[in-house]
Amino acid sequence: AEDLFLRLAPELVDAVLLRLPPGEPACLVRASVVCKPWFRILADPGFRRRYLEFHRTPSVLGLFEDDGAYVSTSALPSVHPGRGRLADRPLDCRHGRALLAPYSRSFREGNAVILTVLDPLTGRLRRVLSPVDEHVLWFSAAVLCAAQGCDHYGCQGGHFRLAVVTTSDAGVTSGWLYSSETRVWSELTTVGHPKVAYYANQGAPSVLVRDALYFNIDGIIELHLGKLCLSKFEKPIAGKGRLMTAQGGGLGFIAMVDVTNLTLWSGEAGPKGAMVWTKLRVIDLKKLLPAGALMTQTVDYGINGVAEGTQVIFVSTFIGSYMVDLKSRQVRMVSGRGRNITPYTSFYIPG
C-alpha cells in the first residue's frame, strides 16, 4: 500500500499534502523526508501559496504564559528558551510574531523599556527601544505585519509595526506607533479616560479588526492605524471579558456571565460614534469541559486567552486551562489554572 501511495501522480500527492492539518506542522516535516519528489513539492513556493490559500486561518502552534514560558501545542519544537526565566513577559502575538517586554529594569537601556519582537519557531528576534520610560509602570502593546500587499496568512519576516498604549494616573490614555522600516515612533492623539485605574493598562490584550487595534483597558481603546488617533468605547458588560474577532471579521467580545455560560457579542460603530453591541449566542461550558472543571466554589475561572482571527479561546478552570475551539467544539488541557495566556498562531511549512 505504501509503494502504491508513493507511485501516485504528483497532482494527487499535491492534493493530499494540501489537506495535512496546519495545526500539526510536524506532519509536513515528516512528509518532506518520505522521498525526494515529495520534498520538491513541499519546497516549491507555489505549494506554500496554495496551502495558505486552502486553509486561510492559521492554527495555534503554541502559547506564552505569564512568566514568558513558551509551550508548544503541537509536535513542532520551539527554539524559544524563555521557560521560567521571568526575563520577559508576553504582550501580544500576531502575524507570526510575538512581542515581549522585560520584567526587570536591568533589561532597559537608560530610561527606555526594550521591546523584543520574536519568531518563536525560528528564534529570529529584533529589539526596539520603546517610548515608555521607567516612570511608566503599566502599558499595553501590540505587534502587526507592515508588509505591503501581505494577506497575513503566513507572515514570516519583513517589516512590522508596534503600537504602545499607556494610561496615566490622571486618566489620560496616550499612544505611539512604530515602523520597523523608518525606525521612528509616531505619537498619537490622546483620549480622556476618566475613573480608570492606571494599573488596568498592564499588558491588556488587543485585537486587530480591519484598520484598527482595540485594547481592553477598563473599556475599549481604539487605535486607528490610518488616522493615528485614539478613541474610547464601552464594553457590552462591566467586569471581566475578552475582545475577539467576531464571525464575519468584525469586532467581538466574549465573557463568562456566570460560572458556566459564555456569552458572545458583535460590535459595530453606531451613527453617533458609539459602539452598538449585539448578543450573538450563549454557550454552556458544562457541555464542553470535563466534570469538576467548573466548581462553583472556586474563583480561578475565566477566559484567559483568545486566538485572534479564530474561534479558539482559553478558559481557566479549577483543574487547569483548556483550549476550546468554539467551532469544532474540541477541548484539551494546555496549561495550569489562573495563568494568562497569549496564544501564538501561524503557519509552518518546511523549507
Q: In this predicted model, what pLDDT tens digit does every residue of 121-176 receive, in sequence order?
A: 888 889 999 988 656 667 899 999 988 777 776 677 789 999 999 888 777 889 99
Strand-strand pairing, 88-94 and 172-179: unpaired
> What does the DSSP 8-state code read for residue 285?
G
At 8, list the grid cell: 501516485
CB distance 213 to 223 below 8 Å: yes
Handedness of CA 83, 87, 91, 94 (dihedral sign): negative
Cα separation, 241 vs 322, in Å, equals 16
Q: How confident is the model at residue 300 (pLDDT cuts 50, 70, 90)?
A: low
Q: How confident is the model at residue 286 (pLDDT cuts 50, 70, 90)?
A: confident
CB distance 97 to 155 below 8 Å: yes
- What's the pLDDT at 242? 92
Distances from the Cα of 43 to the Cα of 9, 34, 310, 342, angstroms: 17, 13, 27, 30
Cα separation, 123 vs 126, in Å, equals 10
Q: How confident is the model at residue 2 (pLDDT cuts 50, 70, 90)?
A: very low
Cα separation, 256 vs 289, in Å, equals 14
Cα separation, 94 vs 207, in Å, equals 9
**Spatial CB neighbours of 178, under 8 Å, sequence gap ≥ 6:** 128, 130, 161, 162, 163, 164, 184, 185, 186
At 182, list the grid cell: 523608518
Domains of the chain are 1-56 (no CATH), 57-346 (2.120.10.30)
- What's the pLDDT at 68? 80
Percent of the chain with pLDDT over 70: 87
Longest dimension (CA), the chain: 72
Cα separation, 216 vs 221, in Å, equals 7
- What's the pLDDT at 106? 46
State the pTM of this model. Answer: 0.87
156-195 CB burial, b ≥16 within 10 A, e <16: beeebbbbbbbbeeeeebbbbbbebeeeebeebeebebee
- What's the pLDDT at 212? 94
- What's the pLDDT at 266? 94
Pseudo-torsion of CA 68, 70, 71, 77, nearest 10°? -160
- Comparing 208 with 238, the larger pLDDT belongs to 208
CB distance 329 to 292 below 8 Å: no
Mean pLDDT over each residue of the chain, to the nearest integer:
83
> What does the DSSP 8-state code read for residue 6?
H
